[in-house]
């Protein structure tokens, strides 16, 4: 009766646990998450969690590390650094939108982590950003355009902060904004958003 023993090998206990833990932590937060529940939904004995991860905290960190590896898969590695600013912006906007729908269970984890920034985890997030070379790429392109006179002289960090928040900020605040602005067709709105943010931002910084 007991579910097959045998190392039939794949689904890989380790991964099953991380997957179950991810949704548990996303749904309930660290303190609200229950190790027993993770064990059940992973179809694994609780002892296995401690065998593989030693502690709840450790499992939590493993979930986060694992997720960043996933994220790096969708990263913007192969953006031609010589491409136009407009192209970079378009790619970024699309990447944010695409990513957000693929990492739904990560969003709540990040939001909670932002609530009480924890050195360890924050470092990981910052590293992911840095490794993506997004700020570097964007900052570089913006500086050049300023020199060329195509973009008005202005603190480049303010520009980057604006573009990032227009994108990520919406993805995080969506449940709120969608209600306040009475947005019914969220899918359409988010798709149109890709063009809107590039449009507004680009015109916002361009020389008139």
Partner DNA sequence: TATTGTTAACCAACTGGTTAGTTTAACCTT
Partner DNA sequence: AAGGTTAAACTAACCAGTTGGTTAACAATA
- At residue 41, φ and ψ (nearest 5 deg) are -75, -15
Contacts with its own copies by CB under 8 A lie at 26-32, 107-109, 111-112, 114-117, 122, 125-126, 129-130, 135, 152, 154-155, 157-162, 164-166, 168-170, 172-173, 175-177, 179-181, 183, 189, 192-193, 196-197, 199-206, 208
CB of 147 to its own copies, least distance (A): 19
Shortest CA distance to 160 belongs to which of 208, 111, 89, 95?
89
Whether 85 and 94 have beta carbons less than 8 Å apart is answered as: no
One character per residue 15-54, x = contact with DNA (rule: CB under 7 A): ------------------xxxx------xxxxxx-xxx-x
What does 148 bind: its own copies, DNA, none (CB cut-off 5 to 8 Å by kind)?
none
Instruction: List, as one string, the DSSP characters of 76-121.
Output: -TT--TTS-HHHHHHHHHHHHHHHHHH-TTHHHHHHHHHHS--HHH
- Phi and psi at residue 15, in whole multiples of 5°? -70, -40
Q: Is 10 in the site for DNA (CB under 7 A)?
A: no
Using CB under 7 A as the criterion, which residues of the chain lie in contact with DNA when the complex forms? 2-9, 13-14, 33-36, 43-48, 50-52, 54-57
């Amino acid at each position: 009766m007991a579910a097959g023993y045998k190392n039939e090998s794949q689904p890989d206990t380790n991964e099953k646990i991380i997957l179950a833990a991810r949704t548990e932590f996303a749904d309930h937060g660290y303190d609200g998450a229950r190790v027993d529940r993770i064990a059940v939904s992973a179809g694994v004995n609780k002892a296995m969690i401690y065998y593989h991860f030693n502690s709840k905290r450790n499992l939590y960190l493993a979930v986060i590390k694992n997720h960043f590896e996933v994220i790096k898969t969708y990263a913007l590695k192969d953006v031609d650094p010589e491409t136009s600013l407009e192209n970079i912006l378009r790619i970024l906007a699309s990447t944010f939108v695409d990513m957000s729908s693929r990492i739904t269970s990560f969003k709540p984890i990040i939001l909670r982590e932002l609530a009480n920034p924890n050195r360890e985890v924050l470092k990981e997030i910052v590293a992911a950003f840095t490794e993506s070379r997004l700020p570097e790429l964007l900052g570089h392109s913006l500086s050049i355009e300023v020199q060329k006179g195509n973009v008005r002289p202005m603190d480049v960090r303010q520009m980057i902060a604006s573009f990032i928040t227009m994108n990520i900020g919406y993805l995080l605040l969506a449940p709120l904004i969608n209600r306040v602005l009475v947005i019914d067709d969220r899918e359409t709105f988010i798709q149109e958003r890709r063009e809107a943010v590039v449009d507004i931002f680009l015109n916002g910084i361009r020389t008139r």
